[in-house]
Structure 1
């Protein structure tokens, strides 16, 4: 089997048995558990001290890198090398995001474990339901899997491109080396106050640290965006299950029993069936609100950081791209970083909008389920009113200092970034 064929089979899950009684969250989305383990959360041996090894290593490297980048920013401003300063300031912001993600995930370990357990229970329950529910839900999960593959492929390609460019530059440096040649290239620009970062062994040490930085960013930050859209999309499809339930809530029931006395056995039987159907709807609906609340508490701090500084980061990247174009160069890495910077903000905002609209759609599905065409609607009228009222509350991540995560927020941040970009360009032209 060719390598491309294997990649396609993994992407489309051709070998996965969707009808298996063993379908669960772990075997459908193993990457989710791998990410949690890398972030210091073991789902099996939850109290193992070994889980702190990799996070401690990553946090230590990140703190060292933050101190260095802060020093580079100050140096760039002092010597008026604003291109150097803006690039280093972007990396400084990105490293701060890594610390925010690690701190939030480790602090909210129990909430995350509860969320994972609830999502797995959804798998276990829905796989026992009728095919129209099971197939729809699993196709949605397949879309989540494909989105994960695309996102990780994109972010990993940026890291690989960094390394390939540096290797090609090293090869050219070795072939064209002369006494007046420039320093050996690093992934990210460096400066030391009393030493040369490009001499041996400084160069090799810093190059190793920068490669570790690429791995940490791809694992922590890219994984954080993945987990965020995974959880939100999971409950988006749970809302879809609720809407399917409303479509058939009166199916197979005799509406003539609504004219019987409340204590009549036939009416009590129908009433019990309707109550059972409404109970499942209400439980799912409450589960969605509970999940969004957990996501708000777990990812609220990094989201606040992301929303606050995304406009600055996007502005700095756009400035670097524009500056390189003015000098007749196409800086591929900065173009990809700018694309990633926009995507990392657009993805949660877009899915937040989808989830909010789907929440409102549940209320509309409840209203349009045909209750006015059958007398059975009177038997669950009070329950339907409660569901409709609850669905009017927007499903949105809420945290102190965080606007609702939706496309309107994305538009506002991009507008702010464009304003900063124009100010920076104007200042640069005046100076």
Structure 2
């Protein structure tokens, strides 16, 4: 049993290694370090990360307010919103990660207990391999796109500076983000400090965003995997001739695991519920503003904004995709129960199967603070709102 638990932990940690890597970059971990020195370093790095992104977002908000006061034109204000929204979303995510730390630790420990280290049949083995391979591809692409995106932003001021030098335009080196500082940032030393701080703050936002998104998608993917394997076991439990008592015991173990997975889904959904609400609320605005910027403004940072747009679409799409997968995987349990050759088992087993069908027909989904279920319908709604906001901004821009 201990050997299986250790193997399960190893496989789960391997599937979430990119999330863990990003967490360590901000000094966060679900487990307390055994070394005092390492624990102090984690505390310092986590504190520095939180303070940096909080000031980063605050300075951007102040800059937006000052810009509105000076020039309330759409083309001057809109390009500032999507990076600020990204920072606000990062703060919400790191707060949820820290506040629900014990919940996530418990969910990971519980996942080790029910993890299919050695699947019972070939179909379950195939499901497990396909799920882990797909998760690896999604995580790798999402990680790479976000890292490339933030470094395009980090290096854009340098690229613009050298380009202008090349064409004979004498212009100072700019900064990465549009932020307010309580000092003159044009001085050489202050400018270097600001530039380094903005690299650190922007990278920290990305570390937070990536680690929470990969944690959510990884745990949701594993939950879908377990529901799919459970469905296969339920579908085939009556295929082999057994005594009535053996069939009944098999069915009871399936029902207990199903109930456990339902509770697991509920706990995971509640842990991310607030983050999902903030995510859905801000995604339409972020996507709309960055599309407006790409189409009409700022040709020098076009590539950075395109990577931002790609990561924003993938991020909210990944959230909605796994939310839809949970709904479909839970509903498929009812179909598997009906296809389980229930007519070959005893009346007592049939009553249990009926109970499974009725329970599986009840929707089981992630929510955004119970305002809405997270599904592909939500993704469609976000895209529709983004287009509506963009059309409104485009109309105002043309009038001006």
Same topology, TM > 0.5: yes
For residue 114 of structure 1, what is the aligned residue in structure 2?
Answer: 106
Deviations 1:274-298 (A, max 9, x none): 1332133223312321222122221
2:226, 2:12 → 1: CA distance?
14
Aligned pair partner of 1:305 in 249, 270, 278: 278
Question: Which is greater in Rg?
Answer: 1
Aligned residues: 389
Aligned pair partner of 1:336 in 292, 302, 307: 307
Q: Which runs of 5+ in 1 are unaligned?
A: 1-19, 255-269
1:210, 1:298 → 2: CA distance?
30
Q: Which runs of 5+ in 2 are unaligned?
A: 1-6
For residue 3 of structure 1, what is the aligned residue in structure 2?
Answer: none
| Superposed counterparts of 1:146-225, under 5 Å | 146-172=137-163, 181-191=170-180, 196-225=184-213
- TM-superposed deviation, 1:44: 5.8
For residue 387 of structure 2, what is the aligned residue in structure 1?
Answer: 418
Aligned pair partner of 2:327 in 351, 356, 369: 356
1:54, 1:104 → 2: CA distance?
18
Deviations 1:380-402 (A, max 9, x none): 11211111111112121134353
- TM-superposed deviation, 1:143: 1.9
1:400, 1:143 → 2: CA distance?
28
1:183 match: secondary structure: coil
1:331 match: secondary structure: helix
Q: Is the 8 A contact 1:97 1:305 kept in 2?
A: yes
Q: Is residue 262 of structure 2 the alignment partner of residue 273 of structure 1?
A: no
Greater mean alpha carbon deviation, residues 219-228 or residues 327-336: 327-336
For residue 133 of structure 1, what is the aligned residue in structure 2?
Answer: 124
1:377, 1:146 → 2: CA distance?
45
2:140, 2:179 → 1: CA distance?
33
For residue 355 of structure 2, what is the aligned residue in structure 1?
Answer: 386
Q: Is residue 388 of structure 2 the alignment partner of residue 397 of structure 1?
A: no
Q: Is the 8 A contact 1:190 1:197 kept in 2?
A: no
Q: Classify 1:28/1:210 alpha carbon distance in 2 versus 1 (closer, same or farther; 3 Å).
A: same
- TM-superposed deviation, 1:361: 1.1
Deviations 1:92-138 (A, max 9, x none): 22111111111111111111001111222233x43263444234313
2:178 match: secondary structure: coil
Detail structure 1 runs of 4+ shifted over 6 Å in the superposition: 327-330
- TM-superposed deviation, 1:154: 1.3
For residue 4 of structure 2, what is the aligned residue in structure 1?
Answer: none
- TM-superposed deviation, 1:91: 2.1
For residue 92 of structure 1, what is the aligned residue in structure 2?
Answer: 84
For residue 230 of structure 2, what is the aligned residue in structure 1?
Answer: 242
Q: Classify 1:35/1:383 alpha carbon distance in 2 versus 1 (closer, same or farther; 3 Å).
A: farther
- TM-superposed deviation, 1:196: 4.1
1:403, 1:367 → 2: CA distance?
29
- TM-superposed deviation, 1:407: 1.1
- TM-superposed deviation, 1:22: 8.6
Q: Classify 1:27/1:306 alpha carbon distance in 2 versus 1 (closer, same or farther; 3 Å).
A: closer
Q: Classify 1:357/1:28 alpha carbon distance in 2 versus 1 (closer, same or farther; 3 Å).
A: closer
TM-score by length of structure 1 reads: 0.82
Q: Is the 8 A contact 1:55 1:102 kept in 2?
A: no
